[in-house]
Amino acid sequence: MDTSRREFIKKALYGVLAFFGLGFLISGVKMFAPAADRAKELAFFPLAHEDEVPRAGVRKSELVYTVSGKERRARVFIVSSREGLAVLSATCSHLGCLVNYNREKGEFVCPCHGGRYDLGGNNIAGPPPAPLARLPLKIVDGMLYVGVKV
Ligand code: FES
């Protein structure tokens, strides 16, 4: 093997090592970046005026919010009970169908596979593996706001 060929192979090998080393370095920096940079932010969107919040019982509502400039909509339930005020997602934790509220039974019922949830959103029967998502809320100046990760 002549010298120029050996030099070429040596430089090519260094180039490959530098390429992979740089990639490893970049992925390492990303891995140790603060978690807040990678996590989605919680943003609050208006859901209802305080007057529209039931004093007792359940009210179906639609949350309109934006993610990256795109409008999104989500069906939710405003629940007022002895435990206080809660906003529950209407999306079933089994396969994502929208649940309905059965006033007579005081339960949320999924029309797809019969999953049932109590007033607190806890899964009590059927295939749902988890409760209905409970959304963070706050009341500011008479308006109910709901938190969504965007
Ligand atoms: Fe609700 Fe299956 S999607 S029970």
Strand pairing of 57-67 and 70-81? antiparallel
* CA–CA separation, 146 and 139 (whole Å): 9
Q: Is the CB of 95 under 6 A from ligand 1?
A: yes
Give yes or no for residue 34 having a pLDDT over 60: no
CA–CA dist 103, 98 (Å, integer): 16
Beta strands in the chain (DSSP E): 42-49, 57-67, 70-81, 84-89, 100-102, 107-109, 116-117, 123-125, 134-135, 137-140, 143-149
Q: How many angstroms separate the alpha carbon of residue 54 from the centre of ligand 1? A: 27
For residue 15, report the distance from its CA to the centre of ligand 1, in Å: 54
Residue 31 pLDDT grade (very low, low, confident, very high; cuts 50, 70, 90): very low
Query: Residue 19 — very low, low, confident or very high, per pLDDT cuts 50/70/90?
Result: low
pLDDT in tens, 89-146: 999 999 999 999 999 999 999 999 999 999 999 999 999 999 999 999 999 999 999 9
Residue 126: CB atoms within 10 Å: 15
Ligand 1 pocket, residue 115 CB under 6 Å: yes
What per-residue confidence (pLDDT) applies to 38?
Answer: 58
Task: Enter the pTM of the model.
Answer: 0.74
